Copies of this chain bind each other. A is one copy, B any other.
């Protein structure tokens, strides 16, 4: 029987850690003095500790290790745990890889422009949502006002309220702009059976997004940054772009308000 300090030296594990393992029941000392509470370990406990360390090196949690050491684990379960861990590590590696390329892209961008970009691109998931929309080809971006009028009229007639920010889907670019103005509505919204206004489910997707703060006059910069980011970070476009008007419900509108906040989202997939 040896005391904790010597045991610690033999196994190269700090005393504090041994006490912690005792506390959580992972490795109890062979004996504890009833009067002094001194922990006494047996050299024969080294193999168990070694097994603990080896399993820890695989990335298993102490909790999992405790369960594995519980003596009556079928080999099948061990195999399962390891396979699970294998997958976990692979996922983790992919994440790290992702981070690495993001960092590298940022660095490259700093090299080129010598400052931090005004826009920050984030990848996020957008949930599936039910929308009411009006779609048409318009000659110029500001011309979508008419479409908004049609949509609003219909919705207020039917007394349907929107459940989120309204937005425009751009199905095609200039010069023939194929725009669809949309408002999210409740899931049970009755369809109006109207030729112009239709309701449908807009399915969820991953998007790359930036937020533009300022008048629409300068929104091109935001588009430029976002498109460039998507290309340099190895994503591919995967659907029509969404331009979301993030005004608080009260104040919808003024195109040139310098406090306008707009989110631009491009559905993407990792190439």
Contacts and interface: CB of A to CB of B under 8 A. Distances in A.
Interface of A: 1-2, 9-10, 12, 43-44, 46-47, 50-51, 53-55, 57-59, 75, 78-79, 82-83, 85-86, 89-90, 92-93, 96-97, 99-100, 102-104, 106-107, 110, 114-116, 120-125, 164-165, 209-211, 213, 246-248, 259, 261, 263
A213 B44 contact: yes
B246 A10 contact: yes
Contacts of A106: 58, 82
A14 B179 CA distance: 32
Q: How many copies does the complex hold?
A: 2
A46 B246 contact: yes
Q: Is the interface of A mostly helix, strand, loop or mixed?
A: helix
Contact of A122 (B53, B92, B120): B53
B47 A248 contact: no
Contacts of A55: 120
Given A85-B103, A86-B104, A96-B93, A122 B46 contact: no
A165 B246 CA distance: 70
A40 to B, nearest CB: 11
A102 B58 contact: yes
Given A54-B121, A96-B93, A79 B110 contact: yes
A122 B57 contact: yes
Nearest to A114: B75
A261 B46 contact: yes
Contacts of A96: 89, 92-93, 96
Given A2-B248, A57-B122, A247-B43, A103 B89 contact: yes
B103 A86 contact: yes
16 contacts: A43-B247, A46-B213, A47-B261, A50-B209, A55-B120, A57-B123, A58-B106, A59-B99, A75-B116, A78-B116, A79-B110, A82-B107, A85-B103, A86-B100, A86-B104, A89-B99
Contact of A261 (B1, B44, B124, B246): B44
